[in-house]
Amino acid sequence: MKNREEFFEYVKECGGQNGLEDIMDYEKIREKLVVKLVDLKCNQEYLADRVYTVHGDFAATYAIILYEDREKCISMPVKEPQRKTWGISPEQLHQDAILADKSRVPLLMDLNKFIMSQICAFGKIDNYLIEGTQYHPMVVPMLCLTNRFYRNGASLILHKDILKRTGEVLGSNFYVLPSSIHEVVIVPDMGEQDVAELSLTVREINEEQVKPEERLSDKVQYYDCETAVLENAEERMRRLFVPEKNYEIKYTREILEDTKTKEETEEADMPLGNGEDIEKSRKLLPTV
């Protein structure tokens, strides 16, 4: 769009006029909010004038949907002046946007079936977020998390109930491959994956298959069902295993130092022998 007027005209043509009229009234637009997830470190310039909250490696930004269907989406980013006009905190904005996300119908699908449905345009796709839906993968289990519009679905990893349900479906902890802003790929932890290889796979997919404006991150995440924590997978590995090695080295060094000190102390306290030549302070003592 060349200017603001053209943008407003385009919104009207698409049926989004009501959205424009309501943007100053927070109570009217809160159900039209959407969360857009971006890589925190790689998008500092993009985030400069936007309202956002930090979630590990990611920043959640927010927008107002003026019009959306399967073909297109018209939205306006939420910036600081607008938030202040509404008189709400970033935390309140986040909670309301998370609730609004649910109205866009989150989908948890078998990745292979999802790909086939996109290629062949047929076949039933089960949504495993629905209670009672059983997951029986025919090959290596891999899931895709998105929404019914297949747009900005990566933000669903911020929903604690969805992460919990995903763990229940897989019956294990899992990795999240955050390649695209529109969907994420979920792989169960089978005890065989190499985190470095998973990260390399995501980077290669981003470079070869994902448009720059649609890339989310190459930082693989790990979800622990027991602790209900989603975190950077590589940092988790360093936290769990590297400190243990350092501790073992430090503990061994302390044992050796304590042993050496004890031996030196015992040698210093040893009584001088009668009729023996004993070296003390590098001097030969005469026989008494």
Q: How far apart are the first and last CA of the chain?
A: 108
Q: What confidence tens digit (pLDDT) does each residue in 156-187 have?
A: 999 999 999 999 999 999 999 998 999 999 99
* C-alpha closest to that of 128 among 145, 109, 105: 109
More confident residue, 277 or 56: 56
What pLDDT, on a 0 to 100 scale, did the predictor assign at position 115? 82
Check pLDDT > 50 for residue 247. Answer: no
| The pLDDT value given to residue 277 | 42
Could you tell me if 47 and 38 are in contact, meaning their C-beta atoms sit under 8 angstroms apart?
yes
Question: Do residues 176 and 221 touch, judged by C-beta distance below 8 A?
Answer: yes
In tens, the pLDDT along 94-122 reads 999 999 999 999 999 999 888 877 777 66
Output the CA–CA distances (angstroms, integers) from residue 94 to 52, 176, 196, in the order listed: 8, 22, 32
Q: What is the pLDDT of residue 143?
A: 96
Amino acid 179: pLDDT: 85
Kindly state the helix (H) or strand (E) to which residue 76 belongs, with its residue range.
strand 73-77
C-alpha–C-alpha distance, residues 178 and 140, integer Å: 19
> How many percent of the chain have pLDDT more than 90?
61
User: In the numeric block, which tokens belong to residue 2?
Assistant: 């060349």
| Alpha-carbon dihedral sign for residues 124, 127, 131, 136 | positive
Which structure tokens are listed for 72? 């297109």
* Tens of pLDDT, residues 61-93: 999 999 888 888 999 999 999 999 999 999 999
Q: Is the pLDDT of residue 129 over 70?
A: yes
Residue burial 160-195, b: 16+ Cβ < 10 Å; e: rest: eebbebbbebbeebbbbbbbbbbbbbbbbbeeeeeb
Q: Which amino acid is at 3?
A: N
CA dist., res. 89 & res. 170, Å (int):
36
How many residues are there in the chain?
288
Best CA proximity match to 61, nearest among 74, 48, 70: 48
The answer to whether 196 touches 212, Cβ cutoff 8 Å, is no
Q: Which residue type, as a one-letter code, is found at position 19?
A: G
State whether residue 103 is helix, strand or coil: helix
Q: Please report the sign of the dihedral spanned by the C-alpha atoms of residue 280, residue 281, residue 282, residue 286.
A: negative
The answer to whether residue 124 scores a pLDDT higher than 80 is: no
